[in-house]
């Protein structure tokens, strides 16, 4: 018999790591406050079905309801063997339809034979169909007095909310590493399995808090522990994990920037049957554990959140690794891991990952913010946060500095663009201030000299040219809000740059006008840096609200024959776009 069946809990005292559940069910039995339906949720191997059976035993034992079922009466024996008529176990994965639900409802009406209650344990209840759930709603809400439903699931979010609301829900947590190790040691001693504490620790750290998985793994290696002691290395080989010393040597060679030895390490690992993807995953986990070790002096915390034992922690510390450089190595391996997963030649990418990690750019090695983006994640556990606290605090400060520097750099770039435009335009012949201006042409030149396309669109489409005289350009707007926008820091400097690039020394004035006031009619043809749309790509199917209108602007020079141009436009412009072109005569609108 497999160990996980042989040592399955048979009473509340045998349940490990679920103290809150045991306390709640025990109180319910002692106070005789038994609910009609229960829902046990939690990861696999944490005791959901076992708890349901023990609860059923406690209720239906000949001495029950009791906290200590006798394990000898007919009811207890039937439940242990999963063969009772009063306690019926149903696998929802294979009985998930509405007909199965109707059959279950038909069995509810029959009274129990040996025990006090008729109990239905439905395992993996989330597999039931919606029709089956709906068929069971009324039965769950008002079952007969001697009927109890116990539902078990690993995915409670898939259970119908109306079912959950009719049950008492208990969430079973993952079993701690310490509890798993303690239980494994007890069973190992009973079964005369020779195994080291480090091997048990490795098993417990790799089963994701499931006691059943740990017992299955112990059962798998138990035959090897009859003549010789089972070691940590044997468990790692069984799990497909690369042992600690091998990964430590690889990190040492990478840290020393010895490419030849590092590639030799990779080749040896590959020759032993480990795939590049498996190597990369193991190395990433190892680097994570190393970084936590370098950033904490509390060995118990490191052991809790890693798979390292105290001897491993000491070996890491003897290398005197630089934590920031180690973080950079981790980031490099992660970047290459993305290619290793999808590449047809993953071994080549693994070699490239090692070479890239050996040849890091260490100029900014002292800047944790630039070297450790992988650590800039949300803190999930308080203890882990304490380990990473020095790094996180420094990262926040550096991140704020980087954001401020980026903002300053953006402002400096905008200013540099404006100055460059001004400098280049000064080389050209500009109209002298004393020269008689054609106001419409002058405004067109100014608009085209604005270095920002959105700003061009705003001043050409929203503002009205009132006059240009005495080295002053007067623009009119229909309301105060538009004037506020025109004077904003995101638009006014760009307009001033266009004015200075075209007519040096001219000033700008904004005034409010009404629709009846006379203004100068200007239809500026805006030049754009947007790429021209190929004729073969139709625009008719595009969204009218997109920026396709920018590409639709064409100049008269592109087609000398106006009639032929209109015919060509009709082939790939939508009617709405064509209407906008005719209405605004080529002006960009915001």
505: helix, coil or strand? coil
pLDDT at site 578: 66
d(C-alpha 351, C-alpha 118), whole Å: 63
d(C-alpha 381, C-alpha 396), whole Å: 18
Q: Which residues pair with 152 in a beta bridge?
A: 40, 123
Distance between terminal CA atoms of the chain?
76
Give me the tens of pLDDT residue by residue for the chain, a chain 590 residues long.
888 888 888 888 889 888 899 999 999 999 989 998 999 998 888 889 999 999 999 998 888 788 888 888 888 888 888 777 888 888 888 888 888 888 888 888 888 887 788 999 999 899 888 888 888 888 888 888 889 999 999 999 988 888 898 899 999 988 888 889 999 999 998 888 888 888 888 888 888 888 888 899 888 888 776 677 888 888 887 877 888 888 999 999 999 888 999 999 999 888 888 899 999 999 999 999 999 998 888 888 888 788 787 888 888 988 888 888 999 999 999 999 988 988 889 999 999 999 999 887 544 443 433 333 444 433 334 444 444 444 444 555 555 555 555 555 555 555 555 555 554 444 444 444 434 568 888 888 888 888 877 777 778 777 888 888 888 888 888 888 788 888 888 788 888 888 888 887 888 888 888 877 778 877 655 554 444 444 444 444 444 444 444 444 444 445 455 666 656 655 555 666 666 666 665 555 54
Read off the tokens for 582.
Answer: 């005719």
Q: Which residues pair with 153 in a beta bridge?
A: 41
d(C-alpha 205, C-alpha 15), whole Å: 20
- Residue among 290, 291, 287, 282 nearest 340 (CA): 282
Read off the tokens for 508.
Answer: 């700008």
pLDDT at site 442: 84
Are the CB atoms for 491 and 455 separated by under 8 Å? yes
- Residue among 114, 308, 106, 300 nearest 206 (CA): 308
Does residue 65 have a cis bond before it (omega within 30 degrees)?
yes
Read off the tokens for 541.
Answer: 């199917």
Are the CB atoms for 316 and 293 separated by under 8 Å? yes
Residues in the chain: 590
In 115-272, beta strands by DSSP E: 118-123, 147-153, 168-171
d(C-alpha 183, C-alpha 206), whole Å: 15
pTM, entire model: 0.54
Give the burial string for 404-413 (b: 16+ CB within 10 Å, else e).
eeeeeeeeee
d(C-alpha 293, C-alpha 318), whole Å: 12
| Alpha-carbon distance values, 19 to 7, 145, 168, 215, 333 (Å) | 19, 28, 17, 21, 42
Q: From 2.102.10.10, 1.10.8.60, 3.40.50.11540, 1.20.120.80, which CATH number describes the 177-238 domain?
A: 1.10.8.60
Secondary structure letter of residue 138 according to DSSP:
H
265: helix, coil or strand? helix
Residue 437, judged by CB atoms within 10 A of its CB (0-12, 13-18, 19+), counts as middle
Q: From 3.40.50.150, 3.40.50.12500, 3.40.50.300, 3.40.30.10, which CATH number describes the 3-171 domain?
A: 3.40.50.300
Q: Tell me the DSSP string of 385-448.
A: HHHHHHHHHHHHHHHHHHHHHHHHHHHHHHHHHHHHHHHHHHTS----TTSPP-HHHHHHHHHH
| Alpha-carbon distance values, 450 to 458, 502, 532 (Å) | 11, 10, 20
Longest dimension (CA), the chain: 116
Are the CB atoms for 180 and 204 separated by under 8 Å? yes
Are the CB atoms for 42 and 51 separated by under 8 Å? no
pLDDT at site 502: 83
pLDDT at site 572: 56
pLDDT at site 434: 36
- Residue among 74, 167, 158 nearest 120 (CA): 167
d(C-alpha 486, C-alpha 281), whole Å: 56
Residue 123, CB-side half-sphere exposure with 13 Å CA sphere: 17
Q: Hey, do 177-238 and 439-512 end up sharing a CATH topology, with the first three levels equal?
A: no
Residue 217, CB-side half-sphere exposure with 13 Å CA sphere: 29
d(C-alpha 522, C-alpha 534), whole Å: 30
Domain limits, the chain = 3-171, 177-238, 240-382, 439-512, 528-590
Q: From 3.30.300.180, 3.60.20.10, 3.40.50.1820, 1.20.1250.20, which CATH number describes the 439-512 domain?
A: 3.30.300.180
Q: Tell me the DSSP string of 69-126.
A: --S-SHHHHHHHTT--SSEEEEETTTS-SHHHHHHHHHHHTSPPSSSS-EEEEEETGG
Q: From 1.10.1040.10, 1.10.287.3510, 3.40.50.300, 1.20.272.10, which CATH number describes the 240-382 domain?
A: 1.20.272.10
Are the CB atoms for 66 and 60 separated by under 8 Å? no
């Amino acid at each position: 018999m497999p160990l996980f069946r042989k040592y399955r809990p048979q009473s509340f005292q045998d349940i490990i790591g679920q103290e809150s559940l045991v306390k709640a069910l025990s109180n319910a039995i002692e106070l005789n406050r038994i609910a009609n339906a229960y829902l046990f949720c939690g990861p696999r191997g944490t005791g959901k079905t076992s708890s349901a059976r023990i609860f059923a035993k406690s209720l239906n034992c000949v001495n029950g309801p009791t906290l200590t079922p006798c394990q000898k009466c007919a009811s207890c024996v039937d439940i242990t063997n999963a063969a009772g008529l009063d306690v019926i176990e149903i696998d929802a994965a294979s009985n998930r339809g509405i007909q199965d639900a109707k059959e279950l409802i038909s069995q509810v009406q029959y009274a129990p034979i040996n025990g006090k209650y008729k109990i239905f344990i439905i395992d993996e209840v989330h597999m039931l169909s919606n029709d089956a759930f709906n068929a069971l709603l009324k039965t769950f809400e008002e079952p007969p007095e001697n009927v109890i439903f116990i539902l078990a699931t690993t995915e409670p979010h898939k259970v119908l909310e109306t079912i959950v609301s009719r049950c008492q829900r208990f969430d079973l947590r993952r079993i701690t590493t310490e509890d798993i190790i303690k239980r494994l040691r007890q069973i190992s001693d009973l079964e005369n399995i020779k195994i080291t504490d480090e091997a048990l620790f490795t098993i417990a750290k790799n089963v994701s808090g499931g006691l059943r998985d740990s017992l299955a793994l112990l059962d798998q290696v138990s035959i090897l522990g009859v003549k010789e002691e089972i070691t940590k290395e044997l468990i790692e080989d069984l799990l497909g994990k690369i042992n600690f010393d091998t990964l430590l040597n690889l990190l040492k060679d990478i840290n020393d920037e010895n490419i030849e030895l590092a590639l030799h390490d990779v080749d040896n690992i590959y020759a032993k049957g480990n795939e590049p993807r498996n190597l990369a995953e193991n190395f990433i986990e190892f680097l994570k554990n190393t970084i936590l070790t370098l950033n904490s002096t509390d060995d118990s915390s490191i052991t809790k959140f890693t798979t390292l034992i105290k001897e491993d922690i000491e070996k890491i510390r003897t290398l005197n690794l630089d934590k920031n450089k180690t973080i950079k190595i981790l980031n490099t391996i992660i970047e290459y891991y993305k290619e290793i997963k999808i590449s047809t030649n993953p071994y080549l990418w693994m070699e490239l990952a090692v070479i890239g990690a050996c040849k890091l750019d260490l100029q900014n090695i002292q800047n944790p913010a630039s070297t450790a983006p992988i650590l800039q994640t949300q803190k999930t556990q308080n203890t882990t946060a304490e380990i990473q606290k020095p790094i996180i605090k420094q990262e926040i400060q550096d991140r704020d500095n980087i954001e401020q520097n980026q903002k300053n750099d953006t402002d400096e770039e905008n200013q540099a663009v404006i100055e460059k435009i001004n400098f280049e335009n000064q080389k050209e012949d500009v109209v002298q201030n004393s020269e008689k201006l054609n106001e419409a042409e002058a405004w067109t030149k100014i608009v085209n000299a604005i270095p920002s396309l959105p700003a061009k669109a705003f001043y050409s489409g929203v503002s009205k040219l009132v006059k240009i005289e005495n080295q002053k350009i007067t623009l009119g707007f229909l309301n105060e809000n538009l004037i506020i926008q025109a004077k904003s820091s995101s638009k006014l400097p760009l307009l001033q740059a266009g004015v200075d690039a075209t007519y040096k020394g001219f000033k700008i004035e904004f005034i409010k006008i009404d629709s009846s006031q006379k203004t100068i009619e200007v239809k500026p043809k805006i030049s754009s840096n947007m790429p021209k749309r190929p004729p073969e790509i139709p625009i008719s199917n595009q969204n009218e609200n997109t920026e396709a209108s920018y590409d639709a602007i064409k100049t008269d020079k592109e087609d000398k024959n106006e009639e032929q141009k209109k015919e060509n436009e009709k082939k790939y412009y939508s009617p709405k776009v064509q209407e906008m072109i005719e209405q605004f005569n080529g002006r960009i609108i915001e």
